[in-house]
Amino acid sequence: MRRIVLLSLLWVAFLSPRPALGDDKGHWAFRPPVRPAVPTVRQGERARTAIDRFILAALEAKSLSLSPEADRATLIRRVSFDLTGLPPTPAEIDAFLADPSPDAYDRMVERYLASPHYGERWGKYWLDAAGYADSNGYFNADTDRPLAWKYRDYVVRSFNADKPYDRFVTEQLAGDELAGYAPDGDVTPAMAELLAATHFLRNAPDGTGESDGNPDEVRTDRLTVLEGTLQITMNCLLGLTIQCGRCHEHKFEPIAHQEYYALQAIFFPAYNPERWTKPNDRVVSVAGRAERTAYQRRMELIDREVKAQRDSLAAAAQRLKTSADLVKLTDDDLAKRFPAFASLREDVQKTIAVREKERPPPLEKVAAFVETDPSPPPHHVLKRGQHNAPGAEVAPGVPAAFCTSANVYRPEPKPAGRVSSGRRTAFAKWVTSPENPLFARVLVNRVWQHHFGTGLVSTPDNLGRSGAKPSHPELLDYLATEFVRGGWSVKSLHRLILASAVYRQASAPPEKAAEADPDNRLLSCYPLRRLDAESLRDAMLLVSGELDQRLGGPYVASHRTADGSVEIAPSHDGARRRSVCLQQRRTQVVTLLQLFDAPALLGPCATRTTSTVPLQSLALLNSEFPRLRARAFARRLDHEAGTDPETRLGMAFRLACGRPPAAEELAAARRFLAAQAKVYAGEKDAAERTWIDLCQMVLASNAFLYVE
């Protein structure tokens, strides 16, 4: 048995077919993108932008074309959901439909790009790809990460501010070094923002707060954090799977066993298993050095004073306990029996209360990734990935296959007196260079994916040899080079994509495409898409008029009910806030969101499945959340649409589906109202219940659940 394992390891390590390193530039994604020529197409008049010419070229090769432009109501609902994760309001729809100017569409796009909800939507995509969660994971205890939300807010703010993408990533990899953080130095609020960014490197599951067992197990738990961090970094930023390199030469990608550990060495100074800090102790106080010292002194002084008071009371009690039966008495008993003790106790309690009130407000804390070891020991290769089998020493570095002569990993010499090694600043420089073949491509592919449901490369977390082939390789490179040319502005990238005819086309599938392109990879129509879990929940709240639009702050705690489902108690202050603010506990995903494919975030998540299962229907029909929303939705119609059924139906459809009801929908609704009135005949709340029942079905209908 053991021999078989050994043989298989040997096979994987040395004998399995693997491209020679020299070949690696042969893979399209390992060469820096070059701006391609925009193709000439026969139906040039259908193109609004260069993007369309790339799309049309592929369509024309299969004798297909783009679909006609979608109507305005469809477009605003699509753009609104795409950019903010929320449906358009009736007022927004009316303004857009009534706008006769030729740039009405572009200005509508601008309005949603400027919305603070934009950052919530696109921030959440980033958080998923970065493996963000509000809990430590790893063990079943899945303990709390009370400060992680500051990273979430940092991400949301960065997207809203359209922070250049290279800067955004640099901050996450080396914000502490950018800020000049020193373990005993000042931490200003501006530095705190950069420190919060480094939580990117803290997103991996980390069970080391709970580790027990023998020293090997504890070491394994610690090294697992380092491995998880590297996996997230390479996966999220460069679209590379890296884990194979832990045990042997990577079978598919040009990453040598030794190079895997060179990458680990970049993060090793803060993740050294021999000098470990538990996850919830990796926090930094936001204060000047003097302020921090003063705070500490003040706290210690009050601790001492409070203790002295308590001691004096205890001593007095002791003096009174002169006989065996008195010894058993509590302070309460003593106070009843000895008035002098009672008054002494009252004085002591008063004094303590006064002292406690004098405590300074706690210093603001931020969970960060910082180095505290001025001379970290060398890292080692782990033979066969085994945590107790260190091999040769390894210096920090990056895989040679992704370097060019202009872009290599080169840490600056460390200035005297600085603690942090500078390894991550050098790494960030290498990652974010326009010469890096993967960095821009991965991001533009992900943005495309979230606008069209599928990326130009359908495996957004893997652009390597083992990833999917791009459907439109030149378009991907065109977008990547435009993105860099536009100063890494993600909002400009949205503008570019949303202006295209391929984005603006209708979603009804053309007859011809069913044969020639059954999966619609060539995009002869806009792909119909179900709302994702968060949009589904948030849109229900917005439609019902209940969405609590407060931004940011600590997460809204979820809990597991007696019957095992996970929810936010309806009475909770934050129960109607956006889903991005809800507690993202790895083992406790809110049931409604999980049913609609929200991930548990055990690792980074770049793509979600879109499942269609009866349990979803059960939830929409019978669970409390949609029923409560339907109730509020019906009340909203009372307030905003009066009593006329036709007006109410018009309002209901405009709120939920972004358009007035079609004739057949109106007819069905009338039939339902009549039938349901009979069911509730004679009951005093008949009308109210009828409309709640109707609103619930509108929120369960495909016209609401899908974006056309």
Segment 504 to 543, residues that bind another protein, using CB under 8 A:
507-509, 514, 528, 530
| Smallest separation, CB 369 to another protein (Å) | 22
How do 379-382 and 390-394 pair as beta strands? antiparallel
Between 312 and 466, whose beta carbon lies closer to another protein? Answer: 466
Q: Which is nearer to another protein, 421 or 591 (CB)?
A: 591
Q: The dihedral of CA 123, 125, 129, 134: what is its sign?
A: positive
Binding residues with another protein: total (CB under 8 A) = 86
Q: Is 471 in the site for another protein (CB under 8 A)?
A: no
Give min distance, CB of 239 to another protein, in A.
10
**The one among 217, 347, 356, 412 contacting another protein by CB under 8 A:** 217
Q: Which is nearer to another protein, 464 or 645 (CB)?
A: 464
- Which one among 40, 63, 101, 214 touches another protein, defined by CB under 8 A? 214
**Shortest distance (Å) from residue 675 CB to another protein:** 5
Range in contact with another protein (rule: CB under 8 A) among 110-118, 165-173, 407-415, 592-600: 592-600
CB of 464 to another protein, least distance (A): 6
Q: Which residue(s) pair with 556 in the sheet?
A: 582
Residue 603 CB, shortest distance to another protein, in Å, is 6
- Which positions ≥6 away from 630 have C-beta within 8 Å? 544, 692, 693, 695, 696, 699
What mask, x for binding another protein by CB under 8 A, covers residues 3 to 42? -xx-xxx--x------------------------------
CB of 156 to another protein, least distance (A): 26
Residues numbered 130 to 159 that lie near another protein (CB under 8 A) are 137-140
Closest distance to another protein from the beta carbon of 263 (Å): 17
One of 60, 92, 587, 660 touching another protein (CB under 8 A)? 587
Say if CB 210 and CB 380 are below 8 A apart.
no
Residues 183-212 that bind another protein (CB under 8 A): 205
Smallest gap from Cβ 17 to another protein, in A, equals 12
Nearer to another protein, 253 or 517 (CB): 253
From 191, 188, 190, 185, select the one nearest 293 (Cα to Cα).
Answer: 185
**Residue the block writes with tokens 């079905």:** 697
Are 693 and 651 contacting, i.e. CB atoms less than 8 angstroms apart? no
Cβ neighbours for 247, distance < 8 A, ≥ 6 positions apart: 9, 12, 13, 257, 384, 385
User: Which residues from 657-696 bind another protein, rule CB under 8 A?
Assistant: 662, 664-665, 668-669, 671-672, 675-676, 679-680, 689, 693-694, 696
Q: CA–CA separation, 32 vs 546, rounded Å?
A: 48
Residue 163 vs 446, nearer CB to another protein: 446
Q: One symbol per residue from 311 to 330: x for binding another protein (CB under 8 A), - otherwise; what is it? A: --------------------
Cβ neighbours of residue 704 under 8 Å, at least 6 residues apart? Answer: 539, 543, 656, 657, 698
Residue range at the interface with another protein (CB under 8 A); choices 159-167, 441-449, 470-478, 601-609 = 601-609
Shortest distance (Å) from residue 418 CB to another protein: 36
Which one of residues 70, 502, 705, 707 is an interface residue with another protein (CB under 8 A)? 705
Closest CA to 650 of 666, 638, 674: 666
HEC string for 556-592: ECCEECCCCCEECCCCCCCCCECHHHECCECCECCHH
Q: How far is CA 387 from CA 102, 176, 246, 441, in A?
A: 64, 29, 10, 34
Q: Residue 555 CB, nearest distance to another protein (Å)?
A: 20
Phi/psi for 135 (5° steps) reads -140, 160
CB nearer to another protein: pick between 324 and 562: 562
Give the DSSP H/E element, type plus range, for residue 120.
helix 116-129
Binding residues among 372-401 for another protein as defined by CB under 8 A: none
Q: Which of residues 560-579 bind another protein (CB under 8 A)?
A: 562-565
Which is closer to another protein, CB of 312 or CB of 459?
459
Choose between 142 and 162: whose C-beta lies nearer to another protein. Answer: 142
Query: What gap in Å lies between CA 239 and CA 229, rounded to an integer?
Result: 14
By CB under 8 A, name the one of 320, 400, 551, 700 that touches another protein: 700
Return the half-sphere exposure (C-beta side, CA atoms, 13 A cut-off) of residue 464: 22
Looking at 289, 611, 640, 646, which residue binds another protein (CB under 8 A)? 611
Residue type, 529: R
Give the bridge partners for 144, in sequence order: 135
- For the record, the structure tokens of 621 come out as 């029909």
- Give the footprint of another protein on residues 48-67 (CB under 8 A): none
Burial string for 246-257 (b: 16+ CB within 10 Å, else e) reads: bbbbbebbbbbb
Closest to another protein by CB, 62 or 689: 689
Q: Which residue in the set 40, 323, 612, 643 belongs to the binding site for another protein (CB under 8 A)?
A: 612
CB under 8 A, 24+ apart: contacts of 624-627: 624/567, 624/570, 625/537, 625/540, 625/567, 625/592, 626/540, 626/696, 626/699, 626/700, 627/692, 627/696
Q: Which is nearer to another protein, 448 or 704 (CB)?
A: 704
Q: Which of residues 613-632 bind another protein (CB under 8 A)?
A: 613-619, 621-624, 627
CA distance between the termini of the chain: 56
Question: Binders of another protein among 241-280, rule CB under 8 A?
Answer: 241, 243, 251-253
In the complex, least distance from residue 249 CB atom to another protein, rounded to whole angstroms = 13
CB of 139 to another protein, least distance (A): 6
* Burial grade of 40 (CB within 10 A; 0-12, 13-18, 19 or more): exposed
CA atoms within 13 A on the CB side of 275: 14
Shortest spacing between CB 392 and another protein, in angstroms: 23
